[in-house]
Structure 1
Amino acid sequence: MNNAQGSAPTATDPTSSGPTFSHENTLPRVPLPTLEASCERFLAWCAPLLTADERAATEAEVAAFLRPDGAGRMLQAALEAYDATDGVHSWLDTFWPYRYLGRRDRIALNANFFFLFQDSGQSQLERAAGLVAGAVHYKKQLDQELIPPVVQRGRPQTMEQNKYLFSTTRIPGPQQDTVRAPYTEEQPGPSDARHIVVFFRGAMHKLDVLGTDGVPHSLDDLEAGLNAVIKAGAEPADAASSVGHLTTMARAEWAATRESLRTYDPRNATTLDDIETALFCVCLEDFAPADTQEACDNLLHGDRGNRWFDKAVSFIVFADGRAGINVEHCELDGTTVLSFVDALLGTPAPEHSRLSGARSQGLPALEPLTFTLDDDLRAQVRSAAEAFAAYGEATATTTVSFDDFGANTAKALRVSPDAFVQLAYQLAHQRAKGHLGATYESIATRQWRRGRTEAMRVVTPEIQAFVAAMEDPAADPDTRRTTFRAAAEKHVARAKECQAGDAPEQHLWELELIQRRRGAELGVTEQPALYRTPGWLTMRDDYLSTSSAPSAHIQYFGFGSTSSRCIGVAYVLLPERFNVYLSTPLPVAAPMHTFADHLRAAVTELRELLA
């Protein structure tokens, strides 16, 4: 359960000529590694985490996998044939749907991610109306392909994910979910929806943000419409009628309940259609968070029926005007959402409104969205609400903020900013838990056709040597500096390999999935033993799951942890500041808080060492 938000690229030139999607068919394909290269890298990547006996056992199974008549050869041949098939954009075309849409646990808290925006000083209604106006302007630009393709270091990046920002909803399925979205055979081209869904106190309203002629409503109109929703919610909705709670359920359970909901009354199917086709959701809260951490926690898993977690984009605005976004991850990575948020927040709302051609049209069309429920459905809503509240309470989180350290500090010390913070995480983890552990970092790969992210494993022999030197009282500063720089250089080199498509994990994982899907047909009837080796199991058992989202417009970025002992590490590393949001299951909260304390100390210690 990796949170592959995707570390955002640096040195990005957002300006490029040509329509938004003009480069999509000319981008290079994701390279398919050779079986030998991925197996060699896999052994190198997992080795630092294994004992000598575990390494030997893993090496033996890799050798069997690589034999001329081994399972690996047959699976690789099948993948090569698939990659060469007409209409296939990438050998990962079936991997991504399985990875995200195939998960069967709840996506709320486990998969969705959030950004907490910088404060604007505006009231709740002014802030919400401004976000709607900005999003509508972006949508109109996207429809006309006026959003410039992103170019990084001279290389165009795929813009394909932008097609899933609006009117996109994940639909639960019994075995695998699906996505309802525009730009598909079912709905060619951009969404023609004119409405959003607004939540307040567990009740939903359909609010038109575009007039009948497609012209956006003015800011005043939008504010009036949102105010009407709040007035309509003077009394909180009956908790058992807040169907948004159902989107917190495990996927197969939600799929069955959704079918019951849809078929119980024809009007329920119409309401679902209104929600699923809406451009996006706006969730208005009736409270102000006590502090930044509470704001983050509510962006991640606050609900009270006031969310539709299957919706691609939900803006959440608190009573004091603080705001953020919750994102459904299956078609959207952090880099795409960051570009969207930067466009949204980098221009004042009145300018967005003017540029979109908005005009005053009076109070927007507004209607409540309700479901007809029987006793069983109401009981399921209550049960989902109680179960998810308990799940949220069983998650421990904290924030760590550095106002005196940022990317510029690391650069002044002649080290990659990302390498610096990753080494600080490793040192803090060693001191908090007494050992290193598998660490995941997502690496953006949008320079490839329909590229998303690659899985990077952070722990290297160089990092082991660095941590050992830092923990050795006899090691002198020169030794510690030397091991630090060697570890940092190795980290940068590995990240570049991942960006180039030279990484083993997703390749080997897809071979395993081919065996599951087509093993009988290919003559590979059993899971290859490689996938039960200490190397494969240990390398992918996250102790730290890390991802970065650098934007001056956000304060914090966050997601849930990925296993029973994992610490989710979401960080915003900017030139002059560094903010981290940590999450972990409540039973292991104490080590997370210890890790946070050691992280503060490690950043200071490493600065002093390198200075």
Structure 2
Amino acid sequence: MAEAHSAVAFSFAITHDGWDVNFDREVLYLVWESGIRSWKKRLARFRNSVHNGVYPGHLQSLYVLWTLLVAAHFAGFSVPFGLVQKALAVLPSNSTMWQVIACLLAALTMWLTVIFLMRYLLKLLLMYKGWMYESRAPGSKISLKTMLWISVVKVLSGWNKPKLYSFQGSLPRLPLPAVNDTMKRYLTSVRPLLDDDNYKRVESLAKEFEETIAVKLQRYLVLKSWWSSNYVSDWWEEYVYLRGRSPLMVNSNFYGTDAILLRPTNIQAARAGVIIHLCLKFRRLIDRQELEPIMLQNMVPLCSWQYERLFNTVRVPGIERDKIVHYQDSTHITVYHKGRYFKVLVYSRGRLLKPAEIQVQIQQILDDKSEPLVGEERVGALTAGERSHWAHIRQTMFNRGHNRTSLHCIERAAFNVCLDDFDYGYDEKDPSKLDEFGRVLLHGKGHDRWFDKSFNLCFSKNGFVGFNSEHTWADAPVMGHLWEYVIWCELEIGYAPDGNTLGAVESPPPAPIRLQWDLGHEDLLKSIDVSYNIAQKLLNDVDLRILMYTNYGKGFMKSCRVSPDAFIQLVLQLSYYRDAGRFCLTYEASMTRLFREGRTETVRSCTIESSEWVKAMENPNSTIQERMELFVKASHRHQLGYQDAMAGRGIDRHLFCLYVVSKYLELESPFLQEVFNEPWRLSTSQTPHGQTSMLDLKKHPKCVSAGGGFGPVADDGYGVSYVIVGEDLLFFHVSSKKSCPITSSSNFVKQIERSLKDVQDLFKEYKKQQNGVKSSK
């Protein structure tokens, strides 16, 4: 095979005539380039490590201090604490050179002392979370304590421009709540879901747990919170994700959509060329740490730990547990098209290929008329099926030959690209096509995505794009950051009038290499079919609906002077009650990235206050005034719960860790069993939008992504993702299972539309009444 021949860079043989040496200069040159690039990255990492290690200081301040000490010493002034003389006492001589070195040692001592004091002070300051609870309403005043805190934080963090990981050493650890506090919050959260008898039973279980084994379990968590960077994240990744044996597709992976109101080109290869190039530029920003960390209120940093595994990462299946494997570098991507896999080199002669060059490579794949090998078209279904089954097949059938080489090529790629051979996307004349767009991104055909990769880029034949992302390595905001960068920069780069990429291709880029497989073994084909059938059953059961709501958006919510997130969550509570006739345990994801290695915490959105408001909305005898007062009260309660979750005062991660310790110690707890047997019938998440200042919706009002979604968490529940993308635009992604007779995504979307209108009418009627009262006075 030509591919196999080109892969041989060097060979030799002993003949009667002596040594027979063969080598391919081009391949050896690529090896040389790869080594040079690798060493450059190592040097950059070392330089960044030094920068981050002394942040918020700067090396230049050391040079200035050294100069001042040299000048002071030779001018006869006494250096503080006699540091120069103490250094000279241990140096070989008192010559001029050694005096200069002694000044350097003194400067280094003083400089490091100040730097570490600043870092420790910044860490103490970042532990303060009172600023989160300050009212942001117009005309409200900030407390003196918070004002002083803001001033000091800005001074300490404003000396030097931060790199991506500059604040990592200054971020505080996630605090461990007291058991008593968690019990109180838990009981309050389940009160609207239980009748009096059941509530008393759970209250009794909680009291027994708190007074018995919780004391012992908490001691272990205290030790873990002292010893580890984050007492939750490693166990969360291990037991919630890596030990899960069910398919990743639908159950774990999530998706994100294009900026659907824009389609800069309908040429598939051109769109792929630009998007792939921009993703790789983002990777370069991460590698060089030139990406600025996200700062809340432009002063409080979020943990950037999750960015490290965005590229060159794969989830490798195991019999009992999977593992996340991250490669330091990768110079290629893999591309799937019409059942075939290709390796595409994205660097040539030490530089990243331009969009026009990548378009040429993609077009070569689209023009390739070769047929898939036996079993090749559906081999990706193995990543969509049961994890233990895939692990067994990987260990026995992919451990040698072409299968091993091709598998490693896919797993070591920067990311995977799927060139779909059919149209999908947004159609203004038929918004219902968004449902198909979401389904294609969530699960595709069940075999045309490599679900183990950190993310797959999916390109439709007509130029739309989206992604499917594995969830273990990071949470949605990280992918959202990449997606904002890509969508915005694509507008900046632009396309030629004919829809192709800009720029000329001066020399042919490296040609795509078709991956080879040996999948014809009967047992292997049967194993692929097993995973494929599971994937088909799973994806055919998905009921996904996407609502594009244009009657109002963030603008109206802000005019109501309530948190937009609280507004939406109350709408969802009303919608679920109308759909199911009851309340349910509701999950809303909140981040804990204000702490080192923080991931998420649960906001229990179904509260006593929200249930009272919903009942008032359904009670025809309740007045507008009553409904309005209950709505404001419920929104404030929800906002407080969200703030508590972000500040490390949540409920569920603490209970989760107590549960893990109990399993390690083989201690049974009826209370913990009760907690973790409760299904999350309504699982919700707000898709992050506008994380950076890059997106300028005033300049490009149509540059808005429709957000993304995920599958239902419970068999009889809903998965709801929503994004507030503009002053007058909302998107809801609602998923459920067709096999469940009591859920319907279509009906739930109708209830959301109805609830949105009812809440809008509530505020309008309330304002009319208020204006009427004022005019009568």
Length-normalised TM-score, structure 2: 0.71
Match of 1:593 among 746, 760, 766: 746
With over 3 angstroms needed to count, the CA separation of the structure-2 counterparts of 1:443 and 1:136, relative to structure 1, is same
1:422 corresponds to which residue?
A: 569
Amino acid at match of 1:596: V
1:62 corresponds to which residue?
A: 206
On the 8 A contact 2:382/2:532 being kept in 1, the answer is yes
1:545 is paired with a residue of what secondary structure?
strand
Instruction: Give a deviation string over 1:207-250, Cα, whole Å, max 9, x none.
Output: 0011142x011222101111111222554565565311100011
RMSD: 2.3
Which 4+ stretches in 1 moved above 6 angstroms? none
Amino acid at match of 1:195: H
Q: Verify: 1:225 aligned to 2:337, yes or no.
A: no
Deviation at 1:285, TM superposition (A): 0.2
1:201 corresponds to which residue?
A: 338
Instruction: Give a deviation string over 1:270-297, Cα, whole Å, max 9, x none.
Output: 2221111100011000000272211110
Match of 1:511 among 635, 654, 658: 658
2:558 is paired with a residue of what secondary structure?
helix
Flag structure 2 segments of 5+ consecutive residues without an equivalent: 1-131, 137-153, 426-432, 496-502, 690-702, 765-777
2:758 corresponds to which residue?
A: 605
Deviation at 1:51, TM superposition (A): 1.5
Match of 2:310 among 137, 143, 165: 165
With over 3 angstroms needed to count, the CA separation of the structure-2 counterparts of 1:479 and 1:306, relative to structure 1, is same
Match of 1:313 among 455, 458, 471: 455
Aligned counterparts of 2:404 and 2:370: Cα–Cα separation in 1: 27
Match of 1:95 among 236, 241, 250: 236
On the 8 A contact 2:603/2:642 being kept in 1, the answer is yes
On the 8 A contact 2:594/2:647 being kept in 1, the answer is no
Instruction: Give a deviation string over 1:1-23, Cα, whole Å, max 9, x none.
Output: xxxxxxxx9x9x9x992211111
2:534 is paired with a residue of what secondary structure?
helix
Deviation at 1:149, TM superposition (A): 1.0
| More helix as a share of residues | 2
Q: Verify: 1:51 aligned to 2:221, yes or no.
A: no
Q: Verify: 1:580 aligned to 2:732, yes or no.
A: yes
Match of 1:545 among 683, 686, 696: 683
Aligned counterparts of 1:404 and 1:410: Cα–Cα separation in 2: 12
Amino acid at match of 1:211: S
Aligned counterparts of 2:349 and 2:535: Cα–Cα separation in 1: 39
1:371 corresponds to which residue?
A: 517
On the 8 A contact 1:571/1:578 being kept in 2, the answer is yes
Higher alpha-carbon Rg: 2
2:672 is paired with a residue of what secondary structure?
helix
On the 8 A contact 1:172/1:254 being kept in 2, the answer is yes
Instruction: Give a deviation string over 1:81-117, Cα, whole Å, max 9, x none.
Output: 12222x5444433233221112111111111001111
On the 8 A contact 2:710/2:735 being kept in 1, the answer is yes
Greater relative contact order: 1 or 2 (C-alpha under 8 angstroms, separation 6 or more)? 1
With over 3 angstroms needed to count, the CA separation of the structure-2 counterparts of 1:361 and 1:81, relative to structure 1, is farther
1:385 corresponds to which residue?
A: 532
Deviation at 1:364, TM superposition (A): 2.1
Amino acid at match of 2:758: E
With over 3 angstroms needed to count, the CA separation of the structure-2 counterparts of 1:276 and 1:208, relative to structure 1, is same
Match of 2:408 among 269, 273, 298: 273
Q: Verify: 1:134 aligned to 2:278, yes or no.
A: yes
Aligned counterparts of 2:739 and 2:487: Cα–Cα separation in 1: 38
Match of 2:258 among 117, 123, 137: 117
Amino acid at match of 1:578: L
Deviation at 1:120, TM superposition (A): 2.2
Deviation at 1:58, TM superposition (A): 1.1
Deviation at 1:493, TM superposition (A): 0.8
1:348 is paired with a residue of what secondary structure?
helix
Match of 2:422 among 270, 287, 309: 287
Deviation at 1:423, TM superposition (A): 0.8
With over 3 angstroms needed to count, the CA separation of the structure-2 counterparts of 1:114 and 1:358, relative to structure 1, is farther
Match of 1:526 among 638, 648, 667: 667
Aligned counterparts of 1:127 and 1:494: Cα–Cα separation in 2: 42
1:522 corresponds to which residue?
A: none
1:149 corresponds to which residue?
A: 293
2:74 corresponds to which residue?
A: none
Deviation at 1:404, TM superposition (A): 1.9
Instruction: Give a deviation string over 1:170-212, Cα, whole Å, max 9, x none.
Output: 0111111101103xxxxxxxx3210000010121100001114
Aligned counterparts of 1:280 and 1:201: Cα–Cα separation in 2: 18
1:297 corresponds to which residue?
A: 439
1:547 is paired with a residue of what secondary structure?
strand
Q: Verify: 1:210 aligned to 2:347, yes or no.
A: yes
1:179 is paired with a residue of what secondary structure?
strand
Aligned counterparts of 2:398 and 2:252: Cα–Cα separation in 1: 25
Length-normalised TM-score, structure 1: 0.90
1:490 is paired with a residue of what secondary structure?
helix
With over 3 angstroms needed to count, the CA separation of the structure-2 counterparts of 1:403 and 1:238, relative to structure 1, is farther
On the 8 A contact 1:283/1:315 being kept in 2, the answer is yes
Aligned counterparts of 2:354 and 2:637: Cα–Cα separation in 1: 53
On the 8 A contact 1:17/1:149 being kept in 2, the answer is no
With over 3 angstroms needed to count, the CA separation of the structure-2 counterparts of 1:100 and 1:152, relative to structure 1, is same
Match of 1:21 among 153, 165, 168: 165
Amino acid at match of 2:450: W
Aligned counterparts of 1:145 and 1:512: Cα–Cα separation in 2: 37
Amino acid at match of 2:314: T
2:378 corresponds to which residue?
A: 242
With over 3 angstroms needed to count, the CA separation of the structure-2 counterparts of 1:585 and 1:482, relative to structure 1, is same
Aligned counterparts of 2:410 and 2:494: Cα–Cα separation in 1: 25
On the 8 A contact 1:432/1:598 being kept in 2, the answer is yes
1:175 corresponds to which residue?
A: 320
On the 8 A contact 2:192/2:607 being kept in 1, the answer is yes
1:474 corresponds to which residue?
A: 621
1:93 is paired with a residue of what secondary structure?
helix
With over 3 angstroms needed to count, the CA separation of the structure-2 counterparts of 1:142 and 1:255, relative to structure 1, is same
Aligned counterparts of 2:446 and 2:685: Cα–Cα separation in 1: 28
Aligned counterparts of 2:222 and 2:648: Cα–Cα separation in 1: 15
Aligned counterparts of 2:649 and 2:668: Cα–Cα separation in 1: 24
On the 8 A contact 2:317/2:390 being kept in 1, the answer is yes
Amino acid at match of 1:477: I
On the 8 A contact 1:543/1:566 being kept in 2, the answer is yes
With over 3 angstroms needed to count, the CA separation of the structure-2 counterparts of 1:462 and 1:273, relative to structure 1, is same
1:260 corresponds to which residue?
A: 396
Flag structure 1 segments of 5+ consecutive residues without an equivalent: 1-8, 183-190, 520-524
On the 8 A contact 2:340/2:371 being kept in 1, the answer is no
Q: Verify: 1:567 aligned to 2:718, yes or no.
A: yes
With over 3 angstroms needed to count, the CA separation of the structure-2 counterparts of 1:241 and 1:370, relative to structure 1, is farther
Aligned counterparts of 1:381 and 1:493: Cα–Cα separation in 2: 49
Aligned counterparts of 1:234 and 1:566: Cα–Cα separation in 2: 44
Task: Work out the percentage of aligned pairs sharing the same amino acid.
Answer: 26
Deviation at 1:383, TM superposition (A): 2.6
Match of 1:407 among 537, 551, 554: 554
Aligned counterparts of 2:581 and 2:489: Cα–Cα separation in 1: 47
Aligned counterparts of 2:491 and 2:730: Cα–Cα separation in 1: 27
Aligned counterparts of 1:57 and 1:233: Cα–Cα separation in 2: 67
On the 8 A contact 1:134/1:352 being kept in 2, the answer is no
Aligned counterparts of 2:623 and 2:454: Cα–Cα separation in 1: 52
1:197 is paired with a residue of what secondary structure?
strand
On the 8 A contact 1:216/1:358 being kept in 2, the answer is no
Amino acid at match of 1:529: P
1:370 is paired with a residue of what secondary structure?
coil
